[in-house]
Amino acid sequence: MHKIFLFCLLNILVLPGLVAQTLPIDQQATPETKNLYLNLQRLAKKGIMFGHQDALAYGMGWKYEEGRSDVKEVVGEYPAVVGWDLGHLELKRPVNLDSVPFDAMRKFAQQIYARGGINTFSWHPNNPVDPTKDTWFQQDSTIKRVFADPALMARYATWLDEVADFFKSLKGPKGEAIPVIFRPLHEHTGSWFWWGRGHSTVAEYTRFWRFTVDYLRNQKEVHNVLYAYSPDRFESREDYLERYPGDSYVDILGFDIYHRPNPNDSIDYFVANTKQMVQTLSEIGKEKNKLITLSETGLEQLPVADWWTNTLLPVVQDTDLSYVLVWRNGRPDHFYAPYPGQASAEDFKKFYQQPDVFFQKDVAAENIYKKPAKSKKGSKL
């Protein structure tokens, strides 16, 4: 059901929040990128957007069929946010590490933008010391070696050239650059990626992050990107900020956490633990005047029928989170969003009906790429 707020009530709820709004870290950000950032701050005060990785590319039992989405086939609407991954773009391959063609990804991103939704990109690059090794190749001191060897640094720079070219190729109907959220070097509090905590020092990681942003923003003049910092689960404020590269290098504060049921991670424990992380992140976000997000989460195969309303909703509702994104529907043993007939599909409909959980039509009604304005009829907002 779509909830319509009265104009006067909207003014009361929204206008005070505009006072603390900030612009993107890129002072040359495109008008659409600035508007998106301002509108994300505005909308976060009223609810949370739902996102799904690779939502338009494939689902359970289908691939690359125009207009399809497992989420849409359950609730009749697309996710507000769709995630993509750039892994293997650096190798100039035609498809990413999950076999999504980059040309198709570009087309899907343009469709999402045209419908008023949001695109976010992660990147699982191969190891720059040995490009034949994947992102999970846990060679110690990769970042240290890159900075120490001009040839390796040049290689990484050419990889960033590919990222820059791809982001610049994302054009709207009037030729404008499509704004995106970019989430590089993520889950660094773990050690499963070559840039992780166990393979680099704090100084090396923060220097590498700053180089990445500076190169894209200043050298390549990419100005349609919001940068998201997203460690994996964390223990404290200090743990979260240990490798934080600085306020001038981050637009959005996020974190990734998956619900992996085991004797030490019951539903009650997961909810309580994740809510504590959200609270800590909210405090940091307010201090730094940054958007916050739950950048990756989910329960693989969704065996819990009421997971959406009994686990995820208590974590994200009544918070400052801008959006929550669940991972991809890759195969029968690896999916995170419901599809028709799936055990949690009916509960997902209840999740969808929450007035403060937003999908693509709700966000589209807000014209998020234009200057912030009043909410429109036909939206939950």
- Res 262: pLDDT: 72
Q: Is the pLDDT of residue 8 over 50?
A: no
Q: Tens digit of pLDDT for each residue in 108-135? A: 999 999 999 999 999 999 999 999 999 9
Alpha-carbon gap, residue 254 to 232, rounded angstroms: 9
- Across residues 295-313, what is the average pLDDT? 98
Residue 73: which H helix or E strand, with range?
helix 70-75
DSSP characters for 199-246?
GS-HHHHHHHHHHHHHIIIIIS---SEEEEE--SS-SSHHHHHTT---
End-to-end Cα distance, the chain? 11
What homologous superfamily is domain 7-364 in, according to CATH?
Glycosidases (3.20.20.80)
> In degrees, to the nearest 5, what angle opens at C-alpha 355 toward C-alphas 350 and 358?
90
State the pLDDT confidence band at 372, using cuts at 50, 70 and 90: confident
How does DSSP classify residue 143?
A: H
- Res 378: pLDDT: 55
- Res 274: pLDDT: 98
Domain extent listing, the chain? 7-364
β partners of residue 48: 357
- Res 344: pLDDT: 99
- Res 1: pLDDT: 41
